[in-house]
Structure 1
Amino acid sequence: MATLLDALRPVRSLRVAIAMPLLLLSGALATGCRATPARTLMPTTRPLVIAHRGASAHRPEHTLAAYTLAVQMGADFIEPDLVSTKDGVLVARHENEIGGTTDVADKFPSRRTRKVVDGDTIQGWFTEDFTLAELRTLRARERLPFRSHAYDGQYGIPTFDDVLALADSLGRARGRVVGVYPETKHPTYHRAIGLPLEPTLLASLTARGMNRANAPVFIQSFELANLKALRGQTSVRLIYLLDRGALTPERLREIATFANGIGVNTRMLVGADSSAVPTTIVQDAHAAGLLVHVWTLRPEPMFLPKRYRGDALAEVREMIALGVDGIFGDDPFLVAEGTGRIRR
């Protein structure tokens, strides 16, 4: 506990010092789960606290340290974005281009190249050009310049199997479910280069008995065809990611034929200006039988609409008032606090 509090003290020492003991002591009660089922069944809390790339406001994203801290902060789910290595292993990175999140430029300077990924021309270093053994030599770095870089160089790149093992271990230690929420990144691109993500993803879930409807798993994707194909291969809950566009009741009913929910940008529910009027997306989605998860809540003032007046908790509470079923946050502690599970 001392190590965790020391790590978080520069960000919000008083709030963590007061609330974290309560969080850790009441984790099993907060989820409403019991011993063995807690490790194998979908969490029952609402809204779900979903750690966006782990506790990415505090540790380099998509590292085991970020995921572990997220669970300690109260996350119900940890989110690994998945891309492929050259030898077909799924690893947790937000993009297949890893120049900004690792020290790959220092260790493999000659491997920089240019590729077209989903229509965008990108220069950098790509996971599909490296074997897992090569990627294991790299260390993660904080992506954003205004967040702490104190942990740069300390953590490796985990595989999806590493993340699944960690979630199981953390769940067993706490007597509560720790779910995983993988996103298939650029699935059409990966399939085109002979490294399809879906078979390996489903094989890993099957090996752990998690390829079933009530497993603590959501699979998310921005690609419609990807989700429709997955629907025919698995009963795991699927989430269709959306960043913009109209969502009519008719469109939502069509989405419900292949997905269990939608993952939407918060601005699709309510605009950024002070007079914004909420849309009816949440109500319409629920009427269609769909869950609604929102992304991404971040603690820094630069990410907050002015109407919140610098109060990140106000954004959490607004999303809850709108009736969402899950909230993605870079700071899981903040989201958990906003849900009322933790009090100062």
Structure 2
Amino acid sequence: MHARVVAATTTAVLGTAALLLPAPHARAGAERPTVIAHRGASAYAPENTLAGVDKAAELGISWVENDVQRTKDGELVVLHDDNLKRTTDVEQVFPSRAPWKVKDFTAAEIARLDAGSWFGPAYAGARVPTLAQFMDRVDLHHQKLLLEIKNPDLYPGIEQQTLKALDNDGWLDVPHLGRLIVQSFSADSVRTVHELKPAVKTGFLGTPPVADLSWYATFADQINPSYTSISTGYVDSVQAFEGPHGRPLEVFTWTVSDADTARLVAGYGVDGIITNSPDVVRDALPEE
């Protein structure tokens, strides 16, 4: 996810004092936060690859987060950036195709790219997975999926297409709905997902003002902010609202990758922690 939270909103809601407080102890009665492997276990394997899913499973992490975008010929692929430059060898394979936007390449062209060598030689030859391949790997490990719809403005109709792909793979079957959350930085995209498939659990990425939370609660089950933008007071405010499925709104915060910060946000009472280093975060949290 992009670490983009509107500064004015953050300041208005929280001020700066929250970031200066010492790490609090976990609140009495609070459940241990869920640990989510950000783009797979991306501190240890290339992000958004099948190897990242495998590493998260090896570490015993149940939840995996990923990012979904669409190719020129309409295939859903798992990639964070809207271009291929940072995490593949696209500049070498297609030198004349700058700026190397995902939407300008076919699925077959993207399948030719090396998405692992940038991370380390052990991962040379890793590929950009399709959403179907990624879901199958998560399912193979009996894991759960926090799926982010990236840049929906670039891909009209991606919400419907993503839901169809999930449905085709069995993720929308009633017994499996507890293994899935769909999130986005776009409130319109999250609302569209909720309207199309009301049973699907949804999350909004960002830190909306407390005054606006009642509106978000009509279509989002979670408010998922950057850890730098929250405090105990903000988390309490979010959790005081009831979401569209009749349960308190949850807070999954991102992107936490060290033990001290994990303990800090756990003390705020967050429901989940999205992290590149899920083992570090898990081991830092108090046992239930």
**How far did residue 141 of structure 1 move?**
4.1
Paired residue for 2:136? 165
1:226 paired to 2:197: no
Checking the alignment, whether the CA contact within 8 Å between 1:103 and 1:141 is kept in structure 2 is no
The one-letter code sitting in structure 2 at the alignment partner of 1:137 is R
1:187 paired to 2:152: yes
Q: Deviations over 1:262-309 (max 9, x none)?
A: 11000111xxxxxxxx351111111102100000013xxxxxxxxxxx
Q: Deviations over 1:26-53 (max 9, x none)?
A: xxxxxxxxxxxxxxxxxxx841111111
Superposition TM-score, scaled by structure 2 size = 0.81
Paired residue for 1:284? 237
Q: Within 5 Å, give how 1:88-237 maps onto structure 2.
A: 88-112=74-98, 124-141=99-116, 149-151=120-122, 153-171=124-142, 178-191=143-156, 196-211=157-172, 214-234=177-197, 235-237=199-201
The structure, 1 or 2, with the larger RCO (C-alpha pairs under 8 Å, 6+ apart) is 2
1:334 paired to 2:287: no
Checking the alignment, whether the CA contact within 8 Å between 1:89 and 1:200 is kept in structure 2 is no
Q: Deviations over 1:42-83 (max 9, x none)?
A: xxx841111111111111111100111012213221111011
Checking the alignment, whether the CA contact within 8 Å between 2:205 and 2:225 is kept in structure 1 is yes
Q: Matched residues in 2 for 1:52 and 1:127: separation?
A: 20
Paired residue for 2:209? 247
Q: Matched residues in 1 for 2:212 and 2:62: separation?
A: 29
Checking the alignment, whether the CA contact within 8 Å between 1:56 and 1:331 is kept in structure 2 is yes
Q: Within 5 Å, give how 1:50-65 maps onto structure 2.
A: 50-65=36-51
Q: Matched residues in 2 for 1:128 and 1:56: separation?
A: 24
Paired residue for 1:264? 225
**How far did residue 208 of structure 1 move?**
2.6
- Aligned to 1:133, what secondary structure does the other structure show? helix
Q: Deviations over 1:169-208 (max 9, x none)?
A: 111xxxxxx11111111101211xxxx3112210111113
Superposition TM-score, scaled by structure 1 size = 0.68
Q: 1:238 aligns with which of 190, 202, 218?
A: 202
Checking the alignment, whether the CA contact within 8 Å between 1:74 and 1:332 is kept in structure 2 is no
5+ long unaligned stretches in structure 1 = 1-44, 113-123, 172-177, 270-277, 299-311
The one-letter code sitting in structure 1 at the alignment partner of 2:202 is L
Q: Matched residues in 1 for 2:110 and 2:162: separation?
A: 19
CA-based RMSD: 1.9
5+ long unaligned stretches in structure 2 = 1-30, 242-247
The structure with the larger Rg is: 1
Q: Within 5 Å, give how 1:53-92 maps onto structure 2.
A: 53-92=39-78
Residues 182 and 331 from structure 1, CA distance in 2 versus in 1: closer, same or farther, beyond 3 angstroms? Answer: same
The one-letter code sitting in structure 2 at the alignment partner of 1:167 is V
Checking the alignment, whether the CA contact within 8 Å between 2:117 and 2:124 is kept in structure 1 is no
Q: Matched residues in 2 for 1:341 and 1:69: separation?
A: 23
The one-letter code sitting in structure 1 at the alignment partner of 2:236 is Q
Residues 210 and 203 from structure 1, CA distance in 2 versus in 1: closer, same or farther, beyond 3 angstroms? Answer: same
**How far did residue 212 of structure 1 move?**
5.6
Q: Matched residues in 2 for 1:206 and 1:256: separation?
A: 24
Residues 69 and 152 from structure 1, CA distance in 2 versus in 1: closer, same or farther, beyond 3 angstroms? Answer: closer
Percent identical across equivalent pairs? 32
